[in-house]
Amino acid sequence: MATTRVRPQVSIRGRSVGPIASSNAVGEEVPEFEPFMLLPRGPPPLTDYLDVWDVNMLKEPEEVNKQQHHTDRYANEGLIVRRGQEFQISITFNRPHDPSKDQFALEFVIGATPQYSKGTYIPVFPSEERNKLWGGRVLDTSDNVLTMGILPRADCIVGKYGMYVAVVTPYGIRRTKKDPSRELYILFNPWVKDDSVYLEDGAERTECVLNELGIIYHGAYDDVSERSWNYGQFEFGILDACLFIMDKGALPITNRGDPVKIARKASAMINSKDDEGVLVGNWSGDYMYGVAPTSWTGSVEILLSYANGGDPVCYAQCWVYAAVFNTFLRCLGIPARVVTNFFSAHDNDGNLKTDILLDENGKVDRSRTRDSIWNYHCWNECYMARLDLPEGFGGWQVVDATPQETSDGMYRCGPASVYAIKHGMVCYPFDAPFVFAEVNSDFLYRDGTLTPVKVNTSHVGRLVLTKAPGSNGRSDITSMYKFPEGSAEERTVLEKAEEYGVRRQDVTPPVADVALDIPSLEVKVGAGFDLALDFRNSSGQRRTVEAYTNGYVVYYTGVPSAEILFQMWRASTVIKVRPEDYMGKLVEQANLHFITTGKVKETGQIVTAMRVITLHKPRLLVQVRGLYTSFTMLVTVQFTNDFKFSLENVHVRVEGPGVMSPHNKLYRLIAPGTTISWTESFIPRRQGPSKLMASLDCHALRQVRTHTHTHTLSATNHVHEYKNDLLRVNR
Amino acid sequence: MATTRVRPQVSIRGRSVGPIASSNAVGEEVPEFEPFMLLPRGPPPLTDYLDVWDVNMLKEPEEVNKQQHHTDRYANEGLIVRRGQEFQISITFNRPHDPSKDQFALEFVIGATPQYSKGTYIPVFPSEERNKLWGGRVLDTSDNVLTMGILPRADCIVGKYGMYVAVVTPYGIRRTKKDPSRELYILFNPWVKDDSVYLEDGAERTECVLNELGIIYHGAYDDVSERSWNYGQFEFGILDACLFIMDKGALPITNRGDPVKIARKASAMINSKDDEGVLVGNWSGDYMYGVAPTSWTGSVEILLSYANGGDPVCYAQCWVYAAVFNTFLRCLGIPARVVTNFFSAHDNDGNLKTDILLDENGKVDRSRTRDSIWNYHCWNECYMARLDLPEGFGGWQVVDATPQETSDGMYRCGPASVYAIKHGMVCYPFDAPFVFAEVNSDFLYRDGTLTPVKVNTSHVGRLVLTKAPGSNGRSDITSMYKFPEGSAEERTVLEKAEEYGVRRQDVTPPVADVALDIPSLEVKVGAGFDLALDFRNSSGQRRTVEAYTNGYVVYYTGVPSAEILFQMWRASTVIKVRPEDYMGKLVEQANLHFITTGKVKETGQIVTAMRVITLHKPRLLVQVRGLYTSFTMLVTVQFTNDFKFSLENVHVRVEGPGVMSPHNKLYRLIAPGTTISWTESFIPRRQGPSKLMASLDCHALRQVRTHTHTHTLSATNHVHEYKNDLLRVNR
């Protein structure tokens, strides 16, 4: 069925007047001279009408526009401003402008076939009363130079505009020539009330728009690990890459003023499914034909590679999708953050159940248990008013680019209002029931006859974390998604969600009078450890438990890779796990999953407990030299193989936003006991604080990561040198 | 950019436990013998445990199941029942069943990896208390034969199930072998209250589920034309084709109990865009590599052709998409109808404006007018409760499979609640703002400086029609979409929609005191006619109008193909149009579009009027013989070319649901003045009333159509003969 055939190509003739502009690329040239009708033929006579000598976009980082519009950090030579806020352009004419007789306009155009009524052709006049779309006024005139203030509407299209100066003569309109140096980018503006992405909280706004240094949480809810990430939204080429993504997704130009439509389209485009988007997902452990998801240290390399040809980049898992999506949103000016949901359920039916089947002895029946709970799952939140919904559902919105099983039949998800999820109002678009299930599913144990014997309602969505604004600490935002477990509001919300078609488990099996817990442990890769089983008998009577413990190496998706342990006994306390039990079987992020199930002999009740252990990785060292002394600096990455086996095909990466573009190096072999040391030089582009992030990754040992803070005092501050450095590295 | 490259294939390993079942095709075989654990090795001893000799699905059209479930018309040899309603199966054992010691169950499975918790594996026991999903009871026992009643849940998955009888022995479970003759289809059930597609109105239900004979409206709102259409939802192979479409679209099996998800997926799959769906759109007039959209007489040929390999079928325009979608929905048991919206706006921005630009003389400026209004547009309504929305939004839902410019960035649309559209509650999914704009846009005239000079708020969505239930008459359902023009409710609704982000024109230019109207006309292809201009002066003073009339040949999408007329004069009355003005330029459905715009000299006000004329086609004759006398009948299609030119490559088609499978014939040339006559024989499959529909189509003369009513007294009533006939015709 999946054969590729040539599809008949059909023209748009007869169907629409012209093609729909869905690319930011410029289409037809605007004519340099547009004659008025009914004139004698021949070129117009040259007289003393106003002539444009020069246009100054005032686009240097230290000039007024980029300073006032918070766009000075972009490594981009063009003018970048934000909508809903005035910017300035200076025009030098052949003589002073005379308002009483000289008529001119600045014309802004975006996309092919610009049209006034679609907001893709905007003339701005120096007299305020003539402006219908954007504001315009004369700020200053001195001699031949006129400085104009232009105020783009707060809901205008976001992207790259062309700019022309048009002078009206009695014979027609004379325009300046097309000039790429006069192009400008208009972005979203979270600093301005009228923009639907306005974010009042200044600390959050700075964090979620301007911070390039990310921390992404993973591991287990009671043993949280951190990944540093370089979002790099201001790096050279990233803004153009973000526009390219929208072009590749053929998002109509006229939709590009709406953050809801942009976020939704991007949630589809950041993954390669359906639409040849940015990142190819791979959870298999075999990353031969690309970069292992655990190896990336930032978004820059990924986005530049995609923009250079449009081929999907290999490979990603959820945090890579979320991180690249975050770069996209912050780069365009939509406030965004990456969040991590610990124990994330994956539903494919608006169904709040995840099943574990036990056999008649109370042991997990692996052949019949097909559901899995992800140890953690990362997605994004972006901040915007939801003008398409009733009041109250604006604010943070969940968007998720990881291609999951189903989300309205397509690989995309959101924006879904976090407020709506918390209140069970899952009837509002987009994909709210799906996200609701991710944080609210029940964990259900069934016996051999499929009768539910135990329900765990608090396991899923245990903790939702994001980086705290302005610090390197964690912000627990679980309460933005859910009311407290067991509260009256929680019950109301579940009932509400049920009204909108979310199905819940409707049985409540009796609670056993024997409780079981496996306490948390911090374990290093390669170490042995003792797993404790804490039984608590609240019956006041004698209880005998026949229990089974299974241990698995699991992917972070909860999917088991190999069984490492199976023990069966009556009422015990400690299980010894030796390094040789798991070392040969580890996959990916080195997660171990233990599940104990048992039956109380006297009552027939079922007791269960689960524990995920994320093994801690060996250290990676990063050192920077030359911070205060020289223009060129050096970074050294060091690692010692303390294992008893060799590491093969080891990829080491290092990068830092504003200071060092992504570099990587491959070591074919690191023998046991040996140390590698890799030194690279770099020229910081920007002064001030930043971070260098490094990773080491190979098949046997994934995601060894570290970072170091930097503070550069001297920097090039010039894009072109940095650009050359970047191009050299990326070939 | 659009080069095809091999995408890296990535396994699901590590990401999920098993693949998601998204095909109705059966996966793993269910084992014939499933031993219990911990048994001594070796085959189980054969004893006198219950043995299944025969299973009777009671699936003949005249038997109880198909009669009670309204599925007797399906030309399908399998059992077809509807959910939420009991059906019967008889089992013959080796000896009488003894409830006290014999344990057995009927097992129903659907898709690969059937699972109890997903509703894809359903055991049904003869004792009611053991059944947790579906009901089951013994209806009758006589000797060795036991008749069981099975009641599928009213929200169960719709599709093709496998059925097994499993007998429990002390050694394990013994199952009947896989047997295709024991497969059964379970469909939606609009007759049953618990089903979310329940439709109370009996006449509407019969029309929208069981009627195969369709009428689809087109032309102009004040000169409506009709197309007969054979939906053919009961024809041989159609039900399997509908399941194939869901498989091709990879709709997860677990989603196939939800009519909202099925309708949404189908709206994407009926068109070939994005997903290699059923029909390729083509509005260009060049149909060399396929069948002209105007030539089809029914859905059967299209669906069978698609199901035979999965290649998109060429070509469709809106009514073909709507008709095939209608077949799909009715076939699965979702009540559905095709509706026609006259003057349908196409928006790509939740923007209620369609612009016509005038130059400084008041004449239409074609080079700058890029919007178009479709003369008419067809979509579907399907009937269902909307369990995903708050109460009140169930009932008729708009779905649209025609690939339009944008609908949430993908080529699909709906379901959108008609009630929500009428009340401006466009915040509920799916795509309500898009449909709202189709019936509510304003028509805006702007002058050279882009200032609005006239608004027509009543032009768009002028009339919404569907076939009346149980008759061949029309049902005007405009009031289900809109409150009356100018009413207080209408204003409230527009304001409401604006709250949810639908943008309206906010200026109200002054109304001119001179009105202009071009009265409607009925004109035959090839005839000359007089176009009247009715000016009405309500000012009480002298008014001079300088007016321009443009005439165009247009596609039904409102897109102009050729200018046929341009007149300019002061205050006139009648414009003469001669056949030679347009005959050489006609495209497609022979629509002429006249637009008159003018300026009142004294006041500067703008007056405008528009008229679409759909030219009427010559007659096609169809006659049937042998109705009452013989088993085999004859149909004759006759046509006379009254034009002065030859018709080339003329396709003639004829078919009738239940009586005659689609036949077609090609005439290379029909010279002026000559008559063609084509006779075909056929064997009716079903008794009772039906219709034969015929079309004649060639490049110079599109969509000449007719139909004749039939009432057959003798019929084969046997699928296989009919099947052979069908296969022969379709090769």
Q: What is the 3-state secondary structure (H, E, C) of B606-649?
A: EEEEEEEEECECCCCEEEEECCCCCCCEEEEEEEECCCCCCEEE
| Nearest alpha-carbon partner for A430 in B692, B476, B264, B616 | B264
Q: Are A615 and A537 in contact (CB under 8 A)?
A: no
Distance between CA atoms of B31 and B25, rounded to whole angstroms?
17
Distance between CA atoms of A686 and A661, rounded to whole angstroms?
12
Q: What are phi and psi of B728, to 5 degrees?
A: -60, -45
Query: Around A191, how many Cα atoms within 13 Å sit in the side-chain half-sphere?
Result: 15
The answer to whether residue B254 neighbours chain A at the CB level (below 8 Å) is yes
For A380-396, the pLDDT digits (tens) are 999 999 998 988 999 99
Calculate the alpha carbon distances from B563 to A461, B356, B525, B680 in Å: 64, 16, 17, 42
**A302 by DSSP, 3-state: which?**
helix
Beta-carbon contacts of B592 under 8 Å, excluding residues fewer than 6 positions away, are B551, B552, B553, B554, B564, B577, B582, B612, B613, B615
Q: Where are the alpha helices (DSSP H) in B300-453?
A: 300-307, 318-332, 418-422, 432-440
Reply yes or no on whether the pLDDT at A38 is more than 50: no
Q: Which of A6, A15, A436 to mutate to test the interface with B (most CBs of B within 10 A)?
A: A15
Of A13, A115, A406, the CB nearest to B370: A115
Strand partners, B280: B314
Tokens read off for A588: 């990916």
Calculate the alpha carbon distances from B107 to A704, B104, B110, B179 in Å: 50, 10, 10, 13
Distance between CA atoms of A236 and A660, rounded to whole angstroms?
12
Distance between CA atoms of B173 and B30, rounded to whole angstroms?
11
For B48-63, the pLDDT digits (tens) are 788 899 999 999 999 9
Q: Which residue of A has its CA nearest to B281?
A: A10
Q: Binding site for Ca(2+): which residues of A? A: 440, 442, 485, 490
Beta-carbon contacts of B51 under 8 Å, excluding residues fewer than 6 positions away, are B93, B94, B167
Distance between CA atoms of A265 and B32, rounded to whole angstroms?
48
Q: Do B274 and A274 touch (CB under 8 A)?
A: yes
Beta strands A353-357 and A442-446, pairing class: parallel
Q: Do B314 and A499 touch (CB under 8 A)?
A: no
The answer to whether residue A490 neighbours chain B at the CB level (below 8 Å) is no
Distance between CA atoms of B374 and B462, rounded to whole angstroms?
12
User: Which residues, numbered 202 to 241 in chain B, qualify as contacts with chain A under a Cβ-Cβ cut-off of 8 Å?
Assistant: none
| Nearest alpha-carbon partner for B706 in B291, B229, B220 | B229
Q: What are phi and psi of B281, to 5 degrees?
A: -80, 145
Mean pLDDT, residues B339-368 taken together:
73
Distance between CA atoms of A403 and A280, rounded to whole angstroms?
9
Query: Around A523, how many Cα atoms within 13 Å sit in the side-chain half-sphere?
Result: 26
DSSP letter for A585, please.
G
Reply yes or no on whether the pLDDT at A698 is more than 80: yes
Distance between CA atoms of B557 and A161, rounded to whole angstroms?
31
CB burial of residue A676 (10 Å; 0-12, 13-18, 19+): middle
Determine the pLDDT at residue B302: 96
Determine the pLDDT at residue B630: 56
Distance between CA atoms of A76 and B22, rounded to whole angstroms?
46
For B215-273, the pLDDT digits (tens) are 999 988 888 999 999 999 999 999 999 999 999 988 889 889 999 999 999 998 998 87
Q: Are B338 and B207 in contact (CB under 8 A)?
A: no
Reply yes or no on whether the pLDDT at B348 is more than 70: no
**B305 by DSSP, 3-state: which?**
helix
Please report residues of A whose CB lies closer than 8 A to that of B113.
370
Name the residue with tokens 């004040």: B222
Beta-carbon contacts of A491 under 8 Å, excluding residues fewer than 6 positions away, are none
Q: Annotated catalytic residue: which of A240, A247, A347, A400?
A: A400
Reply yes or no on whether the pLDDT at B718 is more than 60: no
Distance between CA atoms of B442 and B347, rounded to whole angstroms?
11
User: Which residues, numbered 529 to 558 in chain B, qualify as contacts with chain A under a Cβ-Cβ cut-off of 8 Å?
Assistant: 555, 557
Q: Do A500 and B430 touch (CB under 8 A)?
A: no
Q: Annotated catalytic residue: which of A208, A314, A318, A331?
A: A318
Name the residue with tokens 């690279």: A680
Tokens read off for A152: 């783009």
Please report residues of B whose CB lies closer than 8 A to that of A254.
348-349, 351
> What number of other Cβ atoms are within 10 A of residue B668's Cβ?
9
pTM exceeds 0.80, yes or no: yes
Distance between CA atoms of A46 and A169, rounded to whole angstroms?
10
The answer to whether residue A455 neighbours chain B at the CB level (below 8 Å) is no
Mean pLDDT, residues A334-338 taken together:
98
Determine the pLDDT at residue A729: 41
Mean pLDDT, residues A628-650 taken together:
85
- Indicate if B530 belongs to the active site: no
Distance between CA atoms of B359 and B453, rounded to whole angstroms?
12
Mean pLDDT, residues B276-287 taken together:
88
Mean pLDDT, residues B657-665 taken together:
89
Calculate the alpha carbon distances from B611 to B162, B518, B587, B591 in Å: 58, 6, 17, 10
Reply yes or no on whether the pLDDT at A576 is more than 60: yes
**A669 by DSSP, 3-state: which?**
strand
Tokens read off for A126: 């120096």
Cα-Cα-Cα-Cα torsion B657, B658, B660, B664, nearest 10 degrees, comes to: 30
Q: For the packed helices B238-248 and B300-307, what is the interaxial angle rounded to 10 degrees?
A: 50
Q: Do B405 and A20 touch (CB under 8 A)?
A: yes
- Indicate if B156 belongs to the active site: no
For A118-173, the pLDDT digits (tens) are 888 899 999 877 777 899 999 999 999 999 999 999 999 999 999 999 988 777 78
Q: How confident is the model at residue B334 (pLDDT cuts 50, 70, 90)?
A: very high
**A537 by DSSP, 3-state: which?**
strand
Determine the pLDDT at residue B101: 84
Q: Which residue of B has its CA nearest to A405?
A: B20
User: Which residues, numbered 98 to 137 in chain B, qualify as contacts with chain A under a Cβ-Cβ cut-off of 8 Å?
Assistant: 113, 115-118, 132
Mean pLDDT, residues B185-207 taken together:
97
The answer to whether residue A264 neighbours chain B at the CB level (below 8 Å) is yes
Distance between CA atoms of B20 and A407, rounded to whole angstroms?
13
What percentage of chain A carries pLDDT values higher than 90?
A: 44
Segment (H or E) for A330: helix A318-332
**A267 by DSSP, 3-state: which?**
helix
Q: Are A58 and A89 in contact (CB under 8 A)?
A: yes
Determine the pLDDT at residue B158: 97
Cα A440 from chain centre: 23
Tokens read off for A121: 């052709």
Q: Which residue of A has its CA nearest to B405?
A: A20
Determine the pLDDT at residue B509: 74
Please report residues of A whose CB lies closer than 8 A to that of B405.
16, 20, 252
Put residue B558 in one of left, alpha, beta given phi > 0 → left and psi -120 to 50 → alpha: left
Chains A and B form CB pairs within 8 A to the count of 215
Q: Are B125 and B136 in contact (CB under 8 A)?
A: yes
Name the residue with tokens 């059909």: A10
DSSP string, A345-404: E--SSSB-EEEEEB-TTS-B-TTT----EEEEEEEEEEEE--TTS-TT--EEEEE--S--
For A605-627, the pLDDT digits (tens) are 888 888 888 888 888 999 988 76
The answer to whether residue B18 neighbours chain A at the CB level (below 8 Å) is yes
- Indicate if A400 belongs to the active site: yes
The answer to whether residue B507 neighbours chain A at the CB level (below 8 Å) is no
Q: Do B4 and A4 touch (CB under 8 A)?
A: yes
Of A255, A265, A372, the CB nearest to B16: A372
Instruction: Please tell me the least confidently modeled range out of A576-585, B5-14, B71-80.
Output: B5-14
Distance between CA atoms of B160 and B158, rounded to whole angstroms?
7
Distance between CA atoms of B375 and B611, rounded to whole angstroms?
10
Q: Are B406 and B266 in contact (CB under 8 A)?
A: no
Distance between CA atoms of B46 and B61, rounded to whole angstroms?
39
Q: Do A388 and B315 touch (CB under 8 A)?
A: no
Determine the pLDDT at residue B6: 41
Q: Are B259 and B384 in contact (CB under 8 A)?
A: yes
Q: How confident is the model at residue A489 (pLDDT cuts 50, 70, 90)?
A: very high
Cα-Cα-Cα-Cα torsion A362, A366, A369, A374, nearest 10 degrees, comes to: 110
End-to-end CA distance of chain B: give it in Å, rounded: 40
The answer to whether residue B367 neighbours chain A at the CB level (below 8 Å) is no
**A658 by DSSP, 3-state: which?**
coil
